[in-house]
Amino acid sequence: MYIVAQDGSGDFTSIQQAIDAIPGGRQAPTIILLRMEEFRERVVVNKDNVRIIGEARDRTVITAKGCAKDLNPDGTERGTFLSATFMVTGNNVEVENLTIRNDAGDGRDVGQAVAVYAAGDRGVWRNVRMIAHQDTLFCGPLMKKVVDFIAPRQALAECVESVGDSPLTHSRQYFEDCFIQGDVDFIFGPYRCWFERCTLFMNARGGLYTAANTPEEQPYGLVFHNCKLTGECEEGKAFLGRPWRKFSRTVFLNCDMDAHVSPQGFADWDEAKPVTERYAEFGTTGARADQSTRHPRQKRMTAVEASDYSIREVIGGYDHWQPDKRVPTWFLCGDSTMADYGKERYPMMGWGQKLQARLNAAGENAYVENCAVNGRSSKSFIAEKRLNFIELCLRKGDKLIISFSHNDEKPDPERNTDPRVTFPEYLSMYIDAARRQGAEPVLVTPVARRLFNEKGRLVPTHGAYPAAMRNLADYRGVRLIDLEKATMQMVQSAGEENSKHIYCHVPSGSKNYPDGLQDNSHLQEEGAGRIALLFLSRYLSNREEPEEEIIDAEMNDYSDLIAREDSVLC
């Protein structure tokens, strides 16, 4: 997760910096959280698998003043498609809970001024405000001049010679609970798009909500379902749309239309591009529910015909895309035994680093966002506002995986917690954060340290902390994965020598550890993979932990040894 804050309190001070820093090859989306402020910048999202989230929809604002009449270096006007505030050329990009504005002004003065240019495939927009005047939202492919304009950033989306006579396109966009404001042709383009529960707001100038240019071979264009059409123009001055090209297609289903909407509904572009039966509505409510005054060539859709329209049919495509059923994310909160490591620390790995691959292998449709950080306790993780940022990203159906103890055991006041008092209090803050957002909290006891006694028995080193987690899980009704017991059983079964393959025991001469490493707290790749599988198998099976204890009843004081090893990274 990247945090963008202009005051320097995050990972980056600009949105574009965060996007440019995204590494390639990630299967799970990279989450970019934008703090509650106004970002004056033009943004190009040229990466796949990105999720951009605003802290507060109306107060997290991306804005710029590009317009069609801006000049190129040679003195020519840039035109519509180089005016966008926010351009997405990557695939599988989700944007939610923020405002995107083009502040260039009235189209009569500045020409077209795009707020959002959605060029990639499988784009998802939730609870986003898009505000401009003429041509607010364009959903369509790139052109060569756009590719050249955004260079050196790579363009990943479809590219055509001209969007005006665009050939058959395959890309799709989904909009849910969005607010889209403009006046002339302010939702336009050739892509297949589904708008669910969106509000379309017409500016005082009046004009047309849409201007599709659907290719002839494409069976669907712009589809609006359960949307609200309103505005601030004079009564009847807002038309549903007009055809940008001969075979354009726009349909309104079960939408509420107030008196701002023209009784005529759709309007012809000109004699060559008239309204046809590819323009339709069904189930309209509100002041413009009476369709008897509609354009004579507009299709009068029947209930049977309307029932053919569904998200799956319109934008599902060959890959059976279901954007209305969001993929849940498993957010991991923990320390260095769970955290991600770079190549420079190999073979050291946290078990959270291997969880996505295990989820994929198990056929679980979920993403892993590993927020675990070296050296953090349940207390210091919260003090650094990491839980606050995660809560802003949590949604219904997500999971918050909570695993602390290693650093709560440390004596320093910034991290230390009392297992009987403050430790469960801090853990309860994680539980409450998850439940406030409709996510499931999951408590996970810590991974055992590799510490054998003189009898060859593995010794528990986490004191009263695991028991505190078990008691809290029972008290709060939270699912518990007892990794302490499970890893102790695994390590004991492996034995004193073979268990070195689980932990980060590296011989001297290693590239990253030339002097070698004998670490009995942190994991190496094999151990991380095994423990990720151990966690997931218990989560999916809901199996009870074995009653037989392999833990010695007698607990010796190994605090010096633990402190030495944990100081490496935990």
pLDDT in tens, 133-142: 999 999 999 9
Decide if pLDDT at 557 tops 60: no
Q: What is the pLDDT of residue 541?
A: 86
Check if the beta carbon of residue 391 is closer than 8 Å to that of residue 436: yes
Q: What is the pLDDT of residue 28?
A: 83
Tell me the pLDDT tens digit for each residue of 481-501.
Answer: 999 999 999 999 999 999 999
**pLDDT tier at 435 (50, 70, 90 boundaries)?**
very high
In the chain, what are the helix, strand and coil shares in percent, each to the nearest 5?
A: 25, 25, 50
Rg of the chain over Cα atoms, rounded to whole angstroms, equals 28
Burial 482-502 (b: 16+ CB within 10 A, else e): bbbbbbbbbbbebeeeebbeb
**Mean pLDDT, rounded, for 378-407:** 97
Q: What is the pLDDT of residue 291?
A: 87
**Mean pLDDT, rounded, for 466-488:** 97
Q: What is the pLDDT of residue 164?
A: 82
Of 554 and 143, the one with more pLDDT: 143
Decide if pLDDT at 554 tops 50: no
Decide if pLDDT at 551 tops 50: no
Tell me the pLDDT tens digit for each residue of 321-361.
Answer: 999 999 999 999 999 999 999 999 999 999 999 999 999 99
The tokens describing 69, both together, are: 């009449």
* 3-state secondary structure (DSSP) of residue 11: coil
**pLDDT tier at 154 (50, 70, 90 boundaries)?**
confident
**Mean pLDDT, rounded, for 150-160:** 91
**pLDDT tier at 24 (50, 70, 90 boundaries)?**
confident
Tell me the pLDDT tens digit for each residue of 449-458.
Answer: 999 999 999 9
Tell me the pLDDT tens digit for each residue of 242-292.
Answer: 999 988 999 999 999 999 999 999 999 999 899 999 999 999 999 999 989
**Mean pLDDT, rounded, for 10-24:** 95
Percent of the chain with pLDDT strictly greater than 70: 95
Task: Kindly report the pTM of this predicted structure.
Answer: 0.91
Check if the beta carbon of residue 375 is closer than 8 Å to that of residue 416: no
**pLDDT tier at 293 (50, 70, 90 boundaries)?**
very high
Check if the beta carbon of residue 557 is closer than 8 Å to that of residue 450: no
| Domains defined for the chain, CATH in brackets | 38-316 (2.160.20.10), 329-566 (3.40.50.1110)
Q: Which one, of 82, 61, 78, lies nearest residue 69 by Cα?
A: 78
**pLDDT tier at 27 (50, 70, 90 boundaries)?**
confident
Q: What is the pLDDT of residue 570?
A: 53
- Angle, alpha carbons 563-564-569 (nearest 5°): 85
Check if the beta carbon of residue 442 is closer than 8 Å to that of residue 486: no
How far apart are alpha carbons 274 and 57 in whole angstroms?
Answer: 38
Q: Which one, of 195, 198, 203, 193, lies nearest residue 237 by Cα?
A: 203
Neighbours of 283 (CB within 10 A): 15
Decide if pLDDT at 553 tops 80: no
